[in-house]
Amino acid sequence: MSRFPLDLGSPGWEYAPAPEARTVARLDAGAQGRLFIGGTWQDAADGATFPTHSPATDEHLADVALAGGTDVDRAVAAARAALPAWSGLPGAERAKLLFRLARMLQERAREFAVLEVLDNGKPIRETRDFDVPTAAAHLFHHAGWADKLDHAGLGPAPRPVGVVGAIVPWNFPLLMLAWKVAPALASGSTVVLKPAETTPLTALRFAELCEQADLPPGVLNVVTGAGATGAALVRHPGVDKIAFTGSTAVGKDIQRTLAGTDRRLTLELGGKAANIVFADAPIDETIEGIVDGIFFNQGHVCCAGSRLLVEEPVHDLVVERLTRRIGTLRLGDPLDKNTDVGAINSPAQLARIRELADVGEAEGAQRWTADCPLPERGNWFPPTVFTGVSQSSRIAQEEIFGPVLSVLTFRTPDEAVTKANNTPYGLSAGIWTEKGARILWMADRLRAGVVWANTFNRFDPASPFGGVKESGFGREGGRQGLHAYLEPSADRGGIDG
């Protein structure tokens, strides 16, 4: 190997560090620590704040206002006050404002991408190539709906649902914001957004974008905080609809809280997706799909393909090829453009992943861990694969929400379907086979809101996304997703009215 002046370590050379400049995130540029209510930046009524850290380095990034009940009251009142004018604005005008937001987000894409990396810990490759462009695409798609609501399938002149309380998780902070804010604003509704505790920064930056775009005050309000802030928003009688993405446990709490209130609710909750590999799968792309399915965003994905179901004859082969491939993943500085796997979002999440991985081992599954050095500071967990996992094992049943894959086997398509469906969840599923008829047969039978065949973890603003069973209800994306933010026209009548 000395013939070449390269550091040629197997399996490949080491890429020189290629870090994105963190200054692009403009972390020191004021305002981002305060609440955005009624078009103004406010401290929390009681002055409380909480810190947000970089998961990759433990570095303190900013102190952010901790919204309490009074702040949530104010935000809901601001959203209510803004509602008549916003919903009364001609759809075409709302559309232009949304298009403007989409374009401005694209213009400042690099800034948002870097800021998301700092706050979330995911690799810049993902925020740059996925989170930010997809968020902009959602705004762009829904902008076009704003003046076409008559064609959404709810009859003429549907009404906006009203004041929306949007509660988004930490795994895709900006993208989940866009999934909720875009259709809400297109419908003529106004929004109080509660970002996740550990990832508030891109939401606040997005509020700045709305300010810059001249979105009317109160149409989008951002209240940062923790669980209590979200709970105050959920309980608030001035909110007409809650749109929540997060854990199944919290989703159930929200559904209970709203019991008997007639307030509308959509829930996008957890999952334990089966990714099903048949012997005739396109093997190289399948291996890539498995990797995408579980290591995308460190496995912090509700629809992650965390249960790999492999047809028995190819089990050893798939595991062999998969582990070889995982061995080439680059874990480390998420700002490095060549990093494939970033940091675990929080110490709490890291503890949960460690606990479940230990349980997997204790339950007798074989643990394989990628041989990659972990940075000394920050929250890190190496890509991990468990083989010999039984259906009853906790790592085959519980959502780990980390870079941990459980491998099980099946013998027949029926068995694959049965095992895949044997979970209270039902968010997504994957099928890998070259046989078209089998794909359609499987897709019919899998109890999941999204079925990816010969691909995985694909998302699009025109494509409805959401779960069945305890993975939640309601859809996000496309015409059907828009329904969650609309009420049929009051004079449409009918026995349901």
Partner 1 sequence: MAALVLPDLDVDPRTLGDGEAALTAFLRGLPGVDRVGNERRAAQLATRSLKQDTKRALIDLAIRTVDLTTLEGADTPARVRSLCARALRPDPADAEVPPVAAVCVYPDLVATAAEAVAGSSVRVAAVATAFPSGRASRTVKLTDTREAVAAGADEIDMVIDRGAFLSGRYGAVADEIRAVKEVCGDAHLKVILETGELATYDNVRRASWLALIAGADTIKTSTGKVSPAATHPVALVMLQAVRDFHLMTGEPRGVKVAGGIRTTKDALRHLVLVNETVGADWLTPDRYRIGASGLLTDLLLQRQKLRTGVYGSADRVTLD
Partner 2 sequence: MAERVRVLRTAKLFIGGAFPRSESGRTFEARGADGTVLANVALASRKDVRDAVVAARAAQPGWAAATALNRGQVLHRVAELLEGRHAQLVDELVATGVEPDAARAEVDGAVDRLVWYAGWTDKLTQVAGGVNPVAGPFFNLTVPEPVGVVGVIAPQRSALLGLVSVVAPALVGGNTVVVVASEARPLPAVTLTEILATSDVPPGTVDVLTGSVAELAPVLAGHLDVDGLDLTGLAGVDGVDRVALETAAAEDVTRVLPPPAEEPDFHRTPRGVDRIMAFCDLKTVWHPKGP
Q: What is the CA radius of gyration of the chain?
A: 23
**Hey, which residues between 119 and 138 contact partner 2 (CB under 8 A)?**
137
Residue 374 CB, nearest distance to partner 1 (Å)?
21
The yes or no reply on residue 301 touching partner 2 (CB under 8 A) is no
The answer to whether 144 touches 152, Cβ cutoff 8 Å, is: no
Stretch that binds partner 1, among 6-14, 220-228, 230-238, 360-368 (CB under 8 A): 6-14
Cβ of residue 431: shortest distance to partner 2, in angstroms? 9
Give the Cα-Cα-Cα angle 495, 465, 144 (nearest 5 degrees).
Answer: 80
The minimum distance between CB 79 and partner 2, in angstroms, equals 23
**d(C-alpha 467, C-alpha 268), whole Å:** 7
464 makes contact, choosing from partner 1, partner 2, none, with CB < 5 to 8 Å by partner type, with: partner 2
Annotated catalytic residue 302: yes
Nearest C-alpha neighbor of 331 from the set 399, 378, 385: 378
268 catalytic residue (yes or no): yes
Q: Which does 172 bind (CB under 5 to 8 A by kind): partner 1, partner 2, none?
A: none
Q: Give 60 or 411: the residue with its C-beta nearer to partner 1.
A: 411
Cβ contact 44:68 at 8 Å: yes
Q: Is 371 in the site for partner 1 (CB under 8 A)?
A: no
- Rounded CA-CA distance 362/310 in Å is 23
Instruction: Residue 226: count other Cβ atoms within 10 Å of its Cβ.
Output: 15
- Which one, 66 or 417, has the nearer CB to partner 2? 417
Q: What CA–CA distance (Å, rounded) separates 466 from 426?
A: 9
The two three-digit tokens of residue 220, written as one number: 């989008």
The smaller minimum CB distance to partner 2, of residues 354 and 435, is found at 435
Residue 197 vs 268, nearer CB to partner 2? 268
- CA 341, 342, 348: angle at the middle one, nearest 5? 125
Of 111, 268, 470, 476, catalytic: 268
> Could you tell me how many residues of this chain bind partner 1 (CB under 8 A)?
41
By CB under 8 A, tell whether 262 contacts partner 2. yes
Bridge-based pairing state of the strands 159-160 and 486-487: antiparallel
Cβ(389)–Cβ(362) under 8 Å?
Answer: no
Tokens of 155: 């009859």
451 touches partner 2 by CB under 8 A = yes
Shortest Cβ distance from residue 313 to partner 1 (Å)? 7
- State yes or no: residue 460 binds partner 1 (CB under 8 A): no
Q: Which of 302, 303, 399, 487 is catalytic?
A: 302
In three-state secondary structure terms, 394 is helix
Q: Which of 42, 95, 91, 38 is nearest to 66 (CA)?
A: 42
Toward partner 1, which CB reaches closer, 280 or 358?
Answer: 280
- Which range touches partner 1 (CB under 8 A), out of 87-95, 185-193, 228-236, 275-283? 275-283
Alpha helix ranges (H) inside 29-108: 69-88, 91-107
Residue 214 has which token pair?
């001249």
Q: Which of 13, 312, 490, 497 binds partner 1 (CB under 8 A)?
A: 13
Catalytic residue positions, numbered: 268, 302
List interacting residues with partner 1 (CB under 8 A). 1, 3-6, 8-18, 125, 129, 279-286, 288-289, 313-314, 316-317, 320-321, 328, 336-338, 434, 454-455
